[in-house]
Structure 1
């Protein structure tokens, strides 16, 4: 386009050192630029001393005219040169595929290296703001004298400012309007010119300058006004043209309207904006920064209209916005302080997959017309969390529609610094940890348990609302219930007795190992499992922990579920894949922080295959089998509604869950009250909601949407290996009744005797048959014996009476494997 390089090759100098100047600025650049290096000639040193003397003299003159009190003799030496400002800029947060999720930071700024900025942009800014930038020593002596004269005659206190002076004002934070400020600005400008090259000063200026519409720095402005980047090399597709550069440069004089002028934003003041553009273009050709041909062909470019005041990338009105809380929290965990984050220049790649995120919101949000939540009252709320079990990456996260409201997926506060709630009761979904703990202690799924035994201290253990005679119908009845059937049917009593036998603390330990970090006791106190021990857990959690009485945070529970899905190998759930930081010297992003890669095997793989083998039967039981025969594992959970006094109510469920997944995706779904707990009903308004209802349907919809969107191949869980001891002494079910004796057979008559029998013998034989029938009815003692056994079992008081398999009060110590 006919533009030349700015100030020749940049000379990089550190703060406090002297930097050399380059050659002239293109065809119009002649003579020495920037400061004087160590190897300056005597003439150059003499010129510098003269400039400093003139600056001081002008300062003294202005002080005298203005009636100031600063002593001019030492003024120049007393003014310190501030270090170049590190400009606050925005941080870009991206989906896992690189698409922008949000742009964070108080200032919309992207710092770019001066060496990468298209020269035509640098020249346009000089043409608009300070066309002699590459030829003066940082100050406008005429401007200073004019300020003194204006003061003497009662005129404006402000004088003309060079680009260097404008940056000096910014670097030293000189905001007041006074003669003293003007003098300090001039002195700092001279010191800047003595320390840094023209190119460096131009880079400082372009990254700081405000260009209206909330755009700080030239890069943000170029993207905002033209959708282009200033680092695209001149002549390449998408590069900023000289005409566009002139528009940007012309805005700097007054980006926003004032009481006396509308400013130079083309959308707000097109007439004056074009006049200013003409002025800039004229200076560009005059200084030989563009050719006469380019100037002659000038045409005012099309400028993008201002966007609305609503931030399009901040996700303030999107469910995705809640994810940013977790980004804040994890950045802090990585050692990135709030100050560093506010300074900006970070490129954060999250683990969130756009397609998985869309599936989570579609399945769980009431705003989605296809969601099972759509027809439910506004007081109902869901949370949907999808995790890659092999890495711990959170692929999709729906915790509510209001990014400023409660995060129902984790109860993390808006700044990511603490919890704003205490979670929800997981109900029977917590049994996966009880089973993991029991398998560790050698308890087999073939053990039998007695559902008629009362809990310690008295009181019936609820069995999912089922009557005694309806419990374990596929097995030996309520007194001989197999652990596998109890898991599938979600009966509570075996889990209570497992916790009683091995100790509730071991259940808590299994949950902690899987990924649960916090449990809430009955007093509402949040217990940090990472910073407490078994003695604390024993004091805070009873045997009811085994079937989900104590509240958890859904995200932590989701991590635990992912551990089970991943055959007992735990990866911490996380939202950040990597963080890159911009090198302001090169303008390139370099790796800064990254996710943890390795997992930890916390449960035995064979035992997990056993658990998964049982959980694989639950989707069919809940009628939520995935399409195309895709294998999945699951566990439902429901916790009763409690009124404001904390008393249980029979009016419905308070929390409902469905958790599990496929080998490539662990999915956790919770449905409960938005805010206060309430008695949950299905959309008919009368049927109680259970985990196998709406939550299971959300779970199914979510997984199927993800497998379709990502074209996931079918994968199978490892083949089940049955583990543990069916005769574990922890089990307390009654022994199976003895089989009935084989029926007695009459000796067979010889065939020859039968041939010789006559009709009378045949009649007598009929009488004998009747007698046999009578003998069977009267002489078979098995039914009576069964009745006697049953009566004795019914009267069993749990004190190891005959007919039991093990004591009803299980041992408190762990038996040897």
Structure 2
């Protein structure tokens, strides 16, 4: 048999023997199955499939990379608060939906920056912005339902915070990966780190490192220590669990371990000296503090600051109008430092409470519910508003009484008339220069003359008192309406109104008519404080400024200089100041101010004001270093809140005069915050101060437009004043004079009655107990 035949015979024998092997069918089946699996999953197929999947994944990723762009930032991540500070830098308030204040990375100490890198991503400065292993683990955990998984880089966490959401989905994680890679290529590491620490949540309602620094240590981010920075970096892992104030014993232990981990990593990265590390102690955070709200005076201060900020944004061209400026402010991110002095602010609030609000009892006197107070205090050398009282509580009375201008300033306007007279070298109609010694006819309801013609204006004095021949000094002391009405015409009402505008009063739309001499236009305590601050500043314009400085990361805001140019001569300003010392020492404010036991020899100038029908009462006064205007306003406590009289409010006998509660508030505040006793430095042709003439006389009788100057003695008033003020009629005259000014609705009397002088204004005068001495030189 040949070899070929033998081979065929063996093959045939093998096929015949095959059925016998079925006895071990289990083993044979397994062997056959394995053989088929081997044939199906050969190493070549496995490698080929792996590379195929890799190519498919790479292709898919390339498509994703090309399709996914860096999106616009999440608006929620950009929300910031506005921060308001007192002049000393302490926090007054934060406003906005999100407690965040974005700060430049350059303001954060380098070591503090590194605490976050050490805590979250030691390779941050070297990596490409992603952690592929961590991302893959996160995707797998999401698919398997195991929830969130750490391991993301700082770049990825920033992308999640700023560009995406906190959703745990595969699509979000893939987007996070792509955007992180692109962002790392397009932006610097400092940009990404700044975004991360400014958008992260730290607990206690604090978003971003600046808010966190204040919430936990009450310092700005730029003042954080390495130890404090390490704690804030550790917080990010579990803000609520690691907050020292509310943490459980386990939480406190964990956060301390995390804090040590951060610092040890810094040593490992050679960012921190090992010796310094050993000496560091865990910096326990301060107790949580309630967020500063808008209650009390804070709301008034914040709103006043916002108004100034918005005006400046418009002035600088950052906004087209106030509405657009409001939108910019509402976006947040502003740090506004006010000129408000905490000590003076507290003193002003205390004075109003002790001298007025504690005496108001609406249950006993219904009128007490209608009394509103406003006050502004200004440093005349800098123009800074150092204190402001806007009302009983911003959350109860939203109108700021310190800035409202719908009430008449009354006789506090009289010094403006005298300033205009001296500044313009004005003369009486008989050619006599107007000085503090010039004589006028002080009789009540004496017709005002323009040459030989009556102008149709004859204002009454308070209580209809006649003074006869009286000099300007004494007329200011006693606030004699008839004298200053005539003086206004002598100077020229156009010139008077121009000087009023130059001094800072809003005269737009106001008519230059004699009735304005009684202060019939509207004004605010803020305006009047500015006018008198200009007197105190020797005629250089003072525009009261509540805002000291504004910071914003995206724009520069330069606030205007509160001190302006010379608007009236020093001679005019100092003459007014000199004359106003007489009002305090011998006039309508003598009881509240001159005799105050806290005065201690302090030299003071000021003027009272009480408007027609007692709807407002004022005292604006100053020392060489502080000007304060206080106003009381009668406002019905029920909507629509019309202006109403204040007779017998706070328990006074009858009329609420400027020399009463307003002057009492002023004196308690001013003398309470004085650091030293000061004297005015005045340069006038009349000397450093003008002694009130108690008995002026002349060689002839004064005409209705007087031309004589005072000597040393004056005849007594032609009428003896009564000892009790008679009731003041709402409409003592039956006919309005022809030159009454047109009042805007906000400035006119709410009840619509015809004022006795044709335009509202002052009704006050000195009264029967005016003394002749006690002059302060």
* TM-score, with length taken from structure 1: 0.63
Change (3 A) 1:131 1:407: same
RMSD: 4.2
Say if 2:173 is the partner of 1:189: no
Change (3 A) 1:507 1:579: same
For the residue of structure 2 that corresponds to 1:615, the secondary structure is: helix
Q: Which position in structure 2 is the counterpart of 1:442?
A: 427
Query: How far is the alpha carbon of 1:397 from its aligned partner?
Result: 1.8
Query: How far is the alpha carbon of 1:106 from its aligned partner?
Result: 4.5
Q: Which position in structure 2 is the counterpart of 1:464?
A: 462
After superposition, the C-alpha distances for 1:302-324 in whole angstroms (9 at most, x for unaligned) are 343333xx324x5x234244222
Asked if structure 1 preserves the Cα contact closer than 8 Å seen for 2:376 and 2:402, the reply is no
1:453 to 433, 446, 451: 446
Asked if structure 2 preserves the Cα contact closer than 8 Å seen for 1:426 and 1:552, the reply is yes
Query: How far is the alpha carbon of 1:60 from its aligned partner?
Result: 6.9
2:225 to 236, 239, 249: 239
Q: Which position in structure 2 is the counterpart of 1:302?
A: 284
Say if 2:622 is the partner of 1:661: yes
Change (3 A) 1:60 1:156: farther
CA distance in 1, matches of 2:337, 2:391: 22
Q: Which position in structure 1 is the counterpart of 2:343?
A: 355
CA distance in 2, matches of 1:543, 1:84: 62
Change (3 A) 1:55 1:594: farther
Please give the residue correspondences for 1:154-303 in structure 2 after superposition, counting only pairs within 5 Å. 156=147, 161-174=152-165, 178-198=169-189, 200-227=191-218, 231=222, 239-241=225-227, 247-256=231-240, 267-272=246-251, 274-275=253-254, 278=257, 281=260, 285=264, 288=268, 302-303=284-285
1:491 to 469, 480, 503: 480
CA distance in 1, matches of 2:501, 2:127: 68
Query: How far is the alpha carbon of 1:656 from its aligned partner?
Result: 1.0
Say if 2:328 is the partner of 1:334: no
Asked if structure 1 preserves the Cα contact closer than 8 Å seen for 2:545 and 2:562, the reply is no
Say if 2:323 is the partner of 1:323: no
Asked if structure 1 preserves the Cα contact closer than 8 Å seen for 2:606 and 2:622, the reply is yes
CA distance in 1, matches of 2:274, 2:601: 73
Query: How far is the alpha carbon of 1:216 from its aligned partner?
Result: 1.7
Q: Which position in structure 2 is the counterpart of 1:567?
A: 538
For the residue of structure 2 that corresponds to 1:690, the secondary structure is: coil
Asked if structure 2 preserves the Cα contact closer than 8 Å seen for 1:59 and 1:183, the reply is no
Change (3 A) 1:705 1:301: closer
Query: How far is the alpha carbon of 1:542 from its aligned partner?
Result: 4.5
After superposition, the C-alpha distances for 1:74-96 in whole angstroms (9 at most, x for unaligned) are 32123223588995555554433
Say if 2:486 is the partner of 1:508: no
CA distance in 1, matches of 2:177, 2:196: 16
Change (3 A) 1:510 1:197: closer
For the residue of structure 2 that corresponds to 1:686, the secondary structure is: coil
Q: Which position in structure 1 is the counterpart of 2:522?
A: 551
Please give the residue correspondences for 1:640-679 in structure 2 after superposition, counting only pairs within 5 Å. 640-641=612-613, 653-673=614-634, 675=637, 676=641, 677-679=644-646
Asked if structure 2 preserves the Cα contact closer than 8 Å seen for 1:285 and 1:291, the reply is no
For the residue of structure 2 that corresponds to 1:556, the secondary structure is: helix
For the residue of structure 2 that corresponds to 1:666, the secondary structure is: strand
Query: How far is the alpha carbon of 1:283 from its aligned partner?
Result: 7.7
CA distance in 2, matches of 1:57, 1:273: 48
Query: How far is the alpha carbon of 1:516 from its aligned partner?
Result: 0.5
Asked if structure 2 preserves the Cα contact closer than 8 Å seen for 1:565 and 1:660, the reply is no
CA distance in 2, matches of 1:712, 1:56: 88
CA distance in 2, matches of 1:124, 1:607: 63
Unaligned runs of 5+ in 1: 1-52, 62-71, 233-237, 257-261, 413-420, 519-528, 530-535, 584-589, 642-652, 737-817
Asked if structure 2 preserves the Cα contact closer than 8 Å seen for 1:281 and 1:295, the reply is no
Asked if structure 2 preserves the Cα contact closer than 8 Å seen for 1:330 and 1:575, the reply is yes
Asked if structure 2 preserves the Cα contact closer than 8 Å seen for 1:88 and 1:342, the reply is no
Say if 2:406 is the partner of 1:428: no
Asked if structure 2 preserves the Cα contact closer than 8 Å seen for 1:157 and 1:178, the reply is no
1:639 to 594, 601, 611: 611
Query: How far is the alpha carbon of 1:107 from its aligned partner?
Result: 3.8
Unaligned runs of 5+ in 2: 1-51, 319-324, 362-367, 429-433, 449-453, 691-697, 709-777
Query: How far is the alpha carbon of 1:163 from its aligned partner?
Result: 2.2
For the residue of structure 2 that corresponds to 1:637, the secondary structure is: strand
Change (3 A) 1:390 1:442: farther
Relative to structure 2, which stretch is displaced further, 335-344 or 712-721?
A: 335-344
Say if 2:391 is the partner of 1:400: yes
Change (3 A) 1:374 1:191: same
2:662 to 691, 695, 713: 695
Asked if structure 2 preserves the Cα contact closer than 8 Å seen for 1:250 and 1:276, the reply is yes
After superposition, the C-alpha distances for 1:603-640 in whole angstroms (9 at most, x for unaligned) are 23334444333322111223232734433222211113
Q: Which position in structure 2 is the counterpart of 1:12?
A: none
Change (3 A) 1:706 1:372: same
Aligned pair count? Answer: 596
Say if 2:374 is the partner of 1:383: yes
For the residue of structure 1 that corresponds to 2:633, the secondary structure is: strand
After superposition, the C-alpha distances for 1:82-133 in whole angstroms (9 at most, x for unaligned) are 5889955555544334444444554434545546656665565445544554
Asked if structure 2 preserves the Cα contact closer than 8 Å seen for 1:569 and 1:601, the reply is yes
Q: Which position in structure 2 is the counterpart of 1:517?
A: 506
